[in-house]
Amino acid sequence: MRWCGAEEAVSGAVRASSSRHLGPVRALVSEEAAAGERAAEGEGEDVQVRLFVGLPADAVVSDGRGVGRPRAVSAALRELKLLGVDGVELPVSWAVAQPGPGGWFEWVGYRGVAAMVRDAGLDLRVSLRTDGDALPGWVADAAAADPDVLFTDRSGHRRVGCLSFAVDELAQRQGP
C-alpha cells in the first residue's frame, strides 16, 4: 500500500483524511489488487469505502442521562469531519440503555451524542454491546440465579457476562 495526493489517485482509492495544505490523502491498493476486486464485483467503476471512527464508550455518562465531556466530544466530531471521516460509530451499552428490568430505557445521553454527530455533518452507526460489562445488573443477577442463560461452549464452560443464543427462547424473569 502506498499513499499519494488526490491528483495521483486511481480507482480503488480509499479516502483516509484531508488537509488544507496537501489536499485529500488517499490510501491506494496496488493496481493488480484493485483490478481483481473490480472484476470480482463485476463492475469497472471506482469502489468507495466509507470511513467510520469508533467513539469511546464514555461518550455517554454511565447512567445514560447525558453526554460525557460534551465540549470535547463536539470538538472531536468537528475535527473528524475536517479530516474527511464519513461518520462515527457509537457503542450503545445495554447496561446503560436499560439499567432496570421491564420496558424502561434511558436514551437521553445517546440522543445527545446523535444530535452532536448530526450537527457536525457526520453519519452515525450504532453498535449494540450486550456482553461482559455491558450486561445490566438485573440480567447479571438473573444469570447468577439461573446459569443456563449464559453461553456455554462445547466443553461445558460457561462464559460469565455472555448470554446464550437460546436466551430469547427462555421464559422472561422480570421482563414486561
Domain containing residue 66: 50-129
Q: Band of the pLDDT at 39, cuts 50, 70, 90?
A: low
Between 42 and 16, the higher pLDDT residue: 42
Residues across the chain: 176
84 and 36 within one domain? no
74 and 124 within one domain? yes
94-130: pLDDT as tens digits? 889 998 887 889 999 999 999 999 999 999 999 988 8
Q: What is the pLDDT of residue 36?
A: 59
12 and 61 within one domain? no
Q: What is the pLDDT of residue 161?
A: 80
β 52-54/87-93 pair status: parallel
pTM of the model: 0.64
116 and 62 within one domain? yes
125 and 60 within one domain? yes
Please list, in sequence order, all residues whose beta carbon lies within 8 angstroms of the beta carbon of residue 164, skipping any fewer than 6 positions away.
Answer: 148, 149, 150, 151, 152
160 and 122 within one domain? no
69 and 9 within one domain? no
75-102: pLDDT as tens digits? 999 999 999 999 999 999 988 999 888 7
54 and 37 within one domain? no
88 and 28 within one domain? no
